[in-house]
Every structure is written in C-alpha cells, then in structure tokens.
Copies of this chain bind each other. A is one copy, B any other.
C-alpha cells in the first residue's frame, strides 16, 4: 500500500493512534509502519492478544492507558501531528444495554482527548470515526451527509454528540478535525469474536469453521460494506488534506448488497459453511435501521477517495487470512494491507 496518496506526507511525522490495537487501528498502524511514520499507540492492553501483530508494532511506541485518563492522554498527544482517534466502545445493542458506560467512553473520553489536543497539540489534526448509525432511518438511498440524523441507539446518539464536539473545538479553538461516518467495515486484523460490529468477519469465521451463518428474517436488508483498506486510505487522506478540515464524509463501499447476498458470498468464497434463516433477535431488531447505502460523492469530489476493493475480493482476502490462522501459519501471511 505504499502507493496510497500522500504517503510522503506521513514520513517522519508523529501520529497518535488511539485504540491502535483495535480493528481499524491495527490496519492504520500497518499502513503507517510501511512509510516511516513515528507511531504512538494509546491502548488499554499490552501486549496484544495475538503474536501475529508483532512485526507491525515493533517500531511503535506504546502508551498503556484509557482515553478517559487525562494524564495519560496528555502524554500521548504532546507533539503529535495527526491523531487517529479510534478509541471507543462499539456496538449499538451493547450501548442500549449499558448506556452509562457508553456515555463515559464515547462522550467523556472524546472530550478528554479534544481538551488535551487544544492545550498540548493545538496544531494537530484529529480524525474521528463516526458511524452510519447517526442517521435517521430513511428510504431515500443513498444517504448523503446532509440527511437528517436520528440515532436508534445510545451509541449513535453519542457518536453524534462527539461529532459536534469536534465541530465546536474547531470553531472555538481552531483545532482541526475531520469526521468520517463509516458504514460496515470488514477486512484483516479483526478479531473474529467481535460479532456485533464486524458482521462479515464473524460470518467468515463461522464459514471457515464449517458452521452455519445466521441470517435474520429474509435477509433482504441492504447493507453497505467497506473494506478496511479503503477505510484506512480515507483516514490517511483526511489527516493531511486541508480541504478535509471541518468536513463530515461518508465512507462506504459503493456496492450495496443484501445481508443474505453477503452471507452467500462468504459461503461461496470459503467453500464451507451454510446460510441459516433465524428470527430477529430482540436486541438486533431494536437497532435495525432498514436498508442502508451511503452516498460517497462528497469525499470522492473533495479528496479523490474512492473504494477500490470489490466485496467478493475483500471477502476472499479475509477467508485466506482466517484459513492461515486456523492452520497456525498466519504469521507468515502478514502482508501489509
């Protein structure tokens, strides 16, 4: 991925990745590693659970701590040029079950980071991952960034509040930021057990284990899946493009697919597993948005970003990784994305 746009812009820069051992975080770290960025990772656990990440992380400096800890965050942001602020708690159904925890992490934690940046890294650019889940469910697809908001989950409500924090800190203090509303990301380096967030990865995990993939209802609901390699490019562009500052961009795959269609594609790519129809579980039904597809015109026009990984190829890529993991040969398969 050394040919990603503006790779040069990250050479010898200092970049903080909060939540850098999470799914998108690890992929970002891998990309930054390839171009000689000084990488700082803020995370709550070290060493990472799987040894396969070792080669990626050997040059990164690691700061162990929580986004809500002002002292740790102050240490983490000092002198950074770009912050990829991926720390947070994912999962709309989980947030409805534990609203106070979601509030503390996804609102208070973001305020701690922004306060630290305005005081200690006022020249930095903060890239914040928001979610399609801030939108009010609509039949008018694809959804533009100007569409009405109206989250069905506490998670979505807090993502939206945090978006506003970033806009307010730009307006009040000139702290540069970019908001990326991500649809359904999937790809390498996602822990297979993360069911609620990374549905494709979980399905691939099931298929590779020759298990059945539960499809809720008729599975006709449209989803917009985007490969993490494309998400990473959007972050990298956002972090160094003056035209991105203060903007909100949808990040989608541009290839809306039914839930069932995705499941069948996974089974086909894995050459194992099966699709099984199940009734909607209550917690999933309460946060179900209906069909979704993101309009990605704005980031295409502003940053020349566009998705490059077709869904079928992206799924095959993860299948290959998971097969190597179950072989115990994953370490050797660790190509940078």
Contacts and interface: CB of A to CB of B under 8 A. Distances in A.
Interface of A: 96, 99-100, 103, 107-108, 111, 115, 146, 148-154, 156-158, 160-161, 164-165, 167-168, 171-172, 286
Contact of A168 (B103, B107, B111, B153): B153
Contacts of A165: 99, 154, 157
A165 B165 CA distance: 18
Contacts of A111: 99-100, 103
A284 to B, nearest CB: 13
A108 B115 contact: no
Given A103-B103, A151-B168, A158-B161, 12 more contacts: A99-B115, A100-B111, A103-B107, A103-B108, A107-B161, A148-B148, A149-B149, A150-B164, A152-B168, A153-B168, A157-B165, A161-B161
A168 B164 CA distance: 19
Interface of A is mostly: helix
A151 B164 contact: yes
Residue from A108, A157, A165 having most chain B Cβ neighbours under 10 A:
A157
B164 A160 contact: yes
A250 to B, nearest CB: 16
User: What's the number of copies of this chain in the assembled complex?
Assistant: 2
Given A103-B108, A152-B171, A171-B152, A157 B164 contact: yes
A111 to B, nearest CB: 5
Contacts of A172: 96, 286
Contacts of A96: 168, 172
A169 to B, nearest CB: 9
18 contacts: A96-B172, A99-B111, A100-B111, A103-B107, A107-B107, A146-B148, A149-B149, A150-B167, A152-B168, A152-B171, A153-B168, A154-B165, A156-B164, A157-B164, A158-B161, A160-B161, A171-B286, A172-B286
By Cβ-Cβ distance, the 3 closest A-B pairs, closest first, are: A157-B164, A161-B161, A157-B161
Nearest to A165: B157
Nearest to A282: B172
Contacts of A103: 103, 107-108, 111
A171 B100 CA distance: 18
A157 B169 CA distance: 12
A149 B157 CA distance: 13
Contacts of A100: 108, 111
